[in-house]
Amino acid sequence: MEGVAKRLLLALTVLAVVGVCAGPWFYRTQMEGMPAPVLTLPSTLRPATTNLDGKWVVAAGPDDEANRSQAGYRARQQLLWETVTVTGRTNAVRGDATVAGGTLQSASFVVDVGTIQSPHRGRDDKFRSTDVMDAAQFPTAKLAVLDPVNLSSIAGDGTPTTQEVSAQLTLKGVARQVAVRLEVQRSGSGVVAVGQIPVTFADYGIIPPAPPAGLLAVDPIVTIEFLVNLVKR
């Protein structure tokens, strides 16, 4: 009996070790799955058919989801030694831009925070809660360009161009100046822009979700991602 007990104890110990080692991997691959791909400009180049001057508004864009107007977040979680990337997205993006003399004079974009969704309802409920985004009191996030931007470097043949833009980002009622790195592409009668903004939760009074037992840590810096399709009004 003593030998059987020892073998049983050894087997349970091995199972426990395997469980601890495999748990983070299982969480990342089976429970979380793959995060949404990083937003990028369309790969097909289309020469511009209209000049940049004028009033532009956000449009839904093409039928394929990857190239539709959208915005959201990309965050990292640490479960023991496994890094897990999570994403949330929404197509509820609106805004406009004004260009005169080849210079961007103004631009502002609004996102409906309460419509941002990830693969997990529980995470979305927490994201909208008072601790995080408080979507009931602050239903939108806003990005507004602060200074005029020279657009003369944007090619008319559809080749992407990188622009550095100073803007004001408003999250949860707190507005802060941010530097936005944009990739811009003229495409037919429209313009497509993709951008990422690293954001520190604490700068906007946002408390990162605190998972139970302290096993899962949320990175205090999250990346805001967006893709907008602009058409002339």
- pLDDT beyond 80 at 22: no
| Mean pLDDT value of segment 181-205 | 96
pLDDT at 11: 45
DSSP, residue by residue, 109-133? EEEEGGG-B-S-HHHHHHHHSTTTT
Give dist(CA 123, CA 127) in Å, integer.
Answer: 6
Q: Which residues of 34-54 are buried (b: 16+ CB within 10 A; e: fewer)?
A: ebbeebebbeeeeebeeebee
pLDDT at 17: 42
- pLDDT beyond 70 at 25: no
pLDDT at 74: 96
Count of positions (residues) in the chain: 233
- pLDDT beyond 80 at 173: yes
pLDDT, greater one: 16 or 118: 118
- Residue whose structure tokens are 């313009």: 191
Give dist(CA 143, CA 154) in Å, integer.
Answer: 21
SS3 204: helix
Q: Yes or no: say if 54 and 231 are a contact pair by the CB < 8 Å rule.
A: no
pLDDT tier, 2 (very low <50, low <70, confident <90, very high otherwise) = low
- Residue whose structure tokens are 């408390």: 207
Span 109-148, pLDDT tens digits: 999 999 999 998 988 998 999 989 999 999 999 999 999 9
Q: Is residue 61 packed enough to be buried (19+ CB in 10 Å), middle (13-18) or exposed (0-12)?
A: buried
pLDDT, greater one: 5 or 98: 98
| Mean pLDDT value of segment 164-178 | 97
The pTM for the full model equals 0.82
pLDDT tier, 29 (very low <50, low <70, confident <90, very high otherwise) = very low
Q: How many CB atoms lie within 10 A of CB 82?
A: 16
* pLDDT averaged over every residue in the chain: 86
pLDDT at 166: 97
Give dist(CA 99, CA 88) in Å, integer.
Answer: 31
pLDDT tier, 88 (very low <50, low <70, confident <90, very high otherwise) = very high
pLDDT at 120: 86
Degrees to nearest 5, angle at CA 28 with 116 and 113: 10
| Mean pLDDT value of segment 24-29 | 40
Q: What letter represents residue 218's amino acid?
A: V
